[in-house]
Structure 1
Amino acid sequence: MALIVVAEDDGGTLKLISVVLKNQSHEVLEASNGLAAWRLIQEHHPDLIVSDVNMPGMSGFDLLQHLREHPRLGQTPLILLTSLQERRDMRQGMLLGADDYLTKPLRPKELTEAVRAQFNRQNLRTAVQDMHLQKALSEALEEQAWDLHEQYEKRLARELSEQWPGDARGQQALNYPEATVLFADIRHYPQWLAALDPAELGRMLKRFYENSGDTVHLFGASAMQFVGEGVLGIFADGVNLAMSAPHSLRAAKAALGLRNAAASMADFVQAQFPGRRLPPFEVGIALHGGPVAMMQLDGLLGGSRQLIPVGEAVVDAMAMQRHAPSEHGAITVSIPVLRSITGAVRPVARYLLTLPHRSEPMDVCAVEPLHF
């Protein structure tokens, strides 16, 4: 399928990587050090490079730097291998332009997923460009329609009726074996509570809910729920959506849209509460993937029916956002989600995030949009 150069000075690890990749029908060229790998790369122009960080002669960082400075080979994706004790080197590798990291001891499934993610990059780039066109078309049509807020409320009511019907026909949509969970909430919220009275806070939250809800639905969320000062969106495939882009990419684009919407919210706050000393309006966003079930609640007061998303992916996404350091950026994604949107975002900081409900930290990454 593809030509891959593997640079690894440990013979056992080199053999493991080669066997895993060959079982996926890839052609593999092996090198036991960085210099030998660089010669193979210049001669054969591979589709992908997998390189250890610490090697004699030329390190993985040196190899990466040579690659990125080459006029013809500079865009070749490269995955770095490092031990858990060397995770401090991740930032250096990302600054040099590494496309992904894998930690030793190496797990074959993780290697396969990381390699597949790199080869999906071009398809995702095309999908991103298509989504830019879809968004521009949607915005042009909305400009010709009635007021945005009125349209949002009517569209939301219609989509709730169509996507989450109350009869038996909707039962198949109550469980998503694989979905991307987006959770976004307002940072510094305790400061906002102290700065605004209940009526003022309600006006701000109403505007935030309208903006965020419209953005989440624009990119084809399968379900959405407001949670406190945040919004929870579930993105899944094959649920009567007109969009063909994968759910992880739609969730990523919604996250980027929410971040942009925060800028307009800052203008709204200044206009609504002039001259007030208020905290900055910032939105933090997290993306995580996994199975999601929609729990149906019947017989509540008033006779209304509610669908509530539940599952470990939901809990993890909300915890990721609430515990991610703000200095790493506004959008935090888990590594499996990052690999599924390779080519759509730019990683800026990868780190281990400790969550109260997990016994082991999560491998996450802060990302920025990648412009084409």
Structure 2
Amino acid sequence: MTLIVVAEDDPGTLKLLTVVLEKKGHDVVAVSDGASAWENVQQLRPDVIVSDIDMPGLSGLELLERVRAHPACALTPFIFLTSLQERRDMRHGMSLGADDYIAKPFRARELAEAVMAQVNKNNMRAQSQDMHVQSALSGALQAQARELSDMYEERMARALNEQWPGGGAARQANHHEQATVLSAGLVNHALWTNTLSAQDMAQLLKRFYDSCGDTVFLFGAHSLQFLGDGVVAVFADGTDAPTTSPHGLRAAKAALALRKAVSGLNSFVQTLAPGHGLESVDLSVALHGGPVAMMRLDGLLGGAAQSVPVGETVMDAVALQKHAQYPGRTGITVSAPVLRSITGAVHPVRRYLLALPHRVDPMDVCLVEPLP
């Protein structure tokens, strides 16, 4: 059972934190100040620490500094609770080694998911330190790779027969309570359009679409739509998924694989216009999670039926991909819910609040990279 130390000086908030976490099966030690929290951390060695920033005596930031400096507690996951006025302190908190933060007022589900993500990261760290587990994992991955290869061929044949992504019994679900949406787009599309002929651009986009289709299909995408210079794929749990891996993790793996696949187009781009110094092919990718509805379009203009993902989650994912900040590079940007679902599988690079044109509130996002 997971032991969590919770530090919060507001009695009502402290009671709410305790109730939510205990209902999820965790053992909770609740304290109202940083000094008491530090004493309990040293004595009990909790699995996770949840702390307010502004507390009497020892602040949350000072508590985090002590935890990270203590040899036996340095790796303990630390989650901050922050109000809007304290957001400016979060950059300092993250630089000190905080693992996550939750804005007040928080939702019970958000708190539970944030804590569970850190528990899972602890479990992954423990497993990676066990050489016997590593050996078994290596064998399992090899077996999984063979299984994925066989299932890929089977699923690809079935998809062609059903004119994927339209039609097919496995793709007629009209709503996913929780799914991960992947939005990806070519970064330098506008520059190439000014240099390449329409025929050359069509060849480039066809190769791009082929690479994307094969890759996301391998990781069990439920649907795939092509949008000009980009694609939108939906990952959901279900009987047609290639493995039992959660949809968020499969989407993250697909995103990493997409960037590698698209980088292979560089030599092809240079052959289309040699000597023009075209920019390298690169991809911006975004992941966002939430409910997704599938709208079925039956044979528009005599074509095959299509299942099109719609809803706020899809709009947010596409906007996130187009407006995310990639200082000096491209990368993969994920929303906070997706980050929590894949904690331990990627390396967070930069977390920030992103204003999107269609949203009133900014989105909590993070630029991530694959683990070394």
Into which bin does the TM-score normalised by the smaller protein fall?
A: 0.7 to 0.9
1:33–1:55 Cα contact (<8 Å) kept: yes
- Judged with a 3 Å threshold, the aligned counterparts in structure 2 of structure 1 residues 215 and 6 are, in CA distance, closer, same or farther, namely same
1:79–1:98 Cα contact (<8 Å) kept: yes
Matches of 1:132 and 1:359, distance apart in 2: 46
- Corresponding residue for residue 32 of structure 1: 32
- Judged with a 3 Å threshold, the aligned counterparts in structure 2 of structure 1 residues 95 and 187 are, in CA distance, closer, same or farther, namely same
The letter of the residue matching 1:61 is: L
- Corresponding residue for residue 68 of structure 1: 68
- Corresponding residue for residue 190 of structure 1: 190
Deviations 1:231-289 (A, max 9, x none): 11111111322311011110011111122334323344335443222234221111111
- Corresponding residue for residue 243 of structure 1: 243
2:64–2:78 Cα contact (<8 Å) kept: yes
1:90 aligns with 2:98: no
The letter of the residue matching 1:211 is: S
- Corresponding residue for residue 18 of structure 1: 18
RMSD: 3.2
Three-state SS of the structure 2 residue aligned to 1:50 is strand
Matches of 1:197 and 1:90, distance apart in 2: 48
The letter of the residue matching 1:182 is: L
- Corresponding residue for residue 99 of structure 1: 99
1:329–1:366 Cα contact (<8 Å) kept: no
Matches of 2:280 and 2:32, distance apart in 1: 52
Matches of 2:29 and 2:123, distance apart in 1: 25
Deviations 1:152-174 (A, max 9, x none): 9x96453254676747x457534
1:137 aligns with 2:145: yes
The letter of the residue matching 1:137 is: A
Give how far 1:118 is off.
Answer: 2.1
The letter of the residue matching 1:362 is: M
1:124–1:341 Cα contact (<8 Å) kept: no
Give me the identity figure in percent: 54
Matches of 1:177 and 1:141, distance apart in 2: 29
The letter of the residue matching 1:341 is: I
The letter of the residue matching 1:361 is: P
Three-state SS of the structure 2 residue aligned to 1:301 is helix
Give how far 1:95 is off.
Answer: 2.8
Unaligned runs of 5+ in 1: 143-150
Matches of 1:258 and 1:164, distance apart in 2: 18
1:322 aligns with 2:309: no
Q: Tell me how many residue pairs correspond in the alignment.
A: 361
2:166–2:304 Cα contact (<8 Å) kept: no
TM-score, length of structure 1 as denominator length: 0.85
- Corresponding residue for residue 148 of structure 1: none
- Corresponding residue for residue 335 of structure 2: 334
- Judged with a 3 Å threshold, the aligned counterparts in structure 2 of structure 1 residues 341 and 232 are, in CA distance, closer, same or farther, namely same
The letter of the residue matching 2:276 is: R
1:94–1:349 Cα contact (<8 Å) kept: no
TM-score, length of structure 2 as denominator length: 0.85
- Judged with a 3 Å threshold, the aligned counterparts in structure 2 of structure 1 residues 156 and 122 are, in CA distance, closer, same or farther, namely farther
Deviations 1:319-342 (A, max 9, x none): 111111222852111111111112
Three-state SS of the structure 2 residue aligned to 1:326 is coil
1:159 aligns with 2:159: yes
Three-state SS of the structure 1 residue aligned to 2:349 is strand
Deviations 1:61-85 (A, max 9, x none): 3332332343332222110111112
Three-state SS of the structure 1 residue aligned to 2:13 is helix
Matches of 1:200 and 1:131, distance apart in 2: 44
Matches of 1:161 and 1:209, distance apart in 2: 19
